[in-house]
Amino acid sequence: MENRKILALSWDAFHADTRALAGRLANRGGFSAIAAVTRGGLFPAGVIARELGIRVVDTVCVASYHEETERGELAVLKPPSPELTARPSSEVLIIDDLVDTGATAKLLREMLPQAYFATVYAKPQGLPLVDAFVREVAQDTWIYFPWDTGLSFQAPIAKAKS
Ligand SMILES: O=P(O)(O)OC[C@H]1O[C@H](OP(=O)(O)OP(=O)(O)O)[C@H](O)[C@@H]1O
Ligand code: HPA
Ligand SMILES: [Mg+2]
């Protein structure tokens, strides 16, 4: 954790990356509904729904309980709705912001085994669990998403080092 690098994303960068993902998903085609994985997946899901002209957007609500030093159990607070599970699974697109260890993706795969799983960002450990992503990020890098951050003063690098 000590040497963890940081990737801080602006709204513009996130929007451009999400649009690039939407372009790939448009090439595949055939999706009629989205399952957004809360909460991070809500942000790219809105952009992708807009780009692909999809109006059926469901949520799968997942919470992970953070211990002091590491992440704890994952809990499903709301499973996919019947309107979603009634569809042919090849038409269902699961969207999350990121796959990291793959724990969340594995849980989603168990719930919707045949659905297409896409994330905007992917770290190597979780990468085999997704069908599509746009940007690979190193495992030792922590991504700061724009909805979790704000503008703040940054000390000059030389001063921060002293
Ligand atoms: O591959 P993993 O190791 O499971 O990590 C990826 C998950 O972690 C984050 O969600 P988080 O549980 O932090 O909650 P949030 O979406 O509500 O921010 C992110 O949005 C992914 O869903
Ligand atoms: O790199 C990350 N950034 C934000 N949330 C996360 N949840 C797992 N990995 C990450
Ligand atoms: Mg999440």
Averaged over successive runs of 10 residues, the pLDDT of the chain (162 residues) comes to 84 98 98 98 98 98 77 92 97 98 97 98 98 98 97 88 68
In a domain, 156, yes or no: no
Q: Provide the CATH number for the domain around residue 19.
A: 3.40.50.2020
Global pTM reads: 0.94
Domain that holds residue 68: 5-150
pLDDT of residue 18: 98
The three-state (H, E, C) secondary structure of 87-153, written as one string: CCHHHEEEEEEEECCCHHHHHHHHHCCCCEEEEEEECCCCHHHCCECCEECCCCEEEECHHHCCCCC
- How far from each other are the two terminal CA atoms of the chain, in whole angstroms? 22
pLDDT of residue 89: 95
In a domain, 157, yes or no: no
Quote the CA–CA distance of 134 and 122 in Å, as a whole number: 8
Mutate which of 39, 70, 104 for ligand 1? The one with the most ligand atoms within 8 Å of its CB, which is: 104
Element housing 61 (H / E)? strand 57-66
ipTM over 0.90: yes
Q: Which residues pair with 33 in a beta bridge?
A: 92
Q: Structure tokens of 20? A: 């690039």
For the chain, helix (H) and strand (E) counts, in that order, are 5, 8
Nearest residue (by CA) to ligand 2, atom 8, is 100
Count of domains forming the chain = 1
Q: Is 148 a catalytic residue?
A: no
In angstroms, the Cα distances linking 161 to 29, 78, 144, 156, 157 are 50, 46, 22, 9, 6
Identify residue 146 by its one-letter amino acid code: P
pLDDT of residue 15: 98
From ligand 2's centre to the CA of 123, what distance in Å?
10
Q: Is 100 a catalytic residue?
A: yes
In a domain, 125, yes or no: yes
In a domain, 126, yes or no: yes
pLDDT of residue 66: 73
pLDDT of residue 2: 58
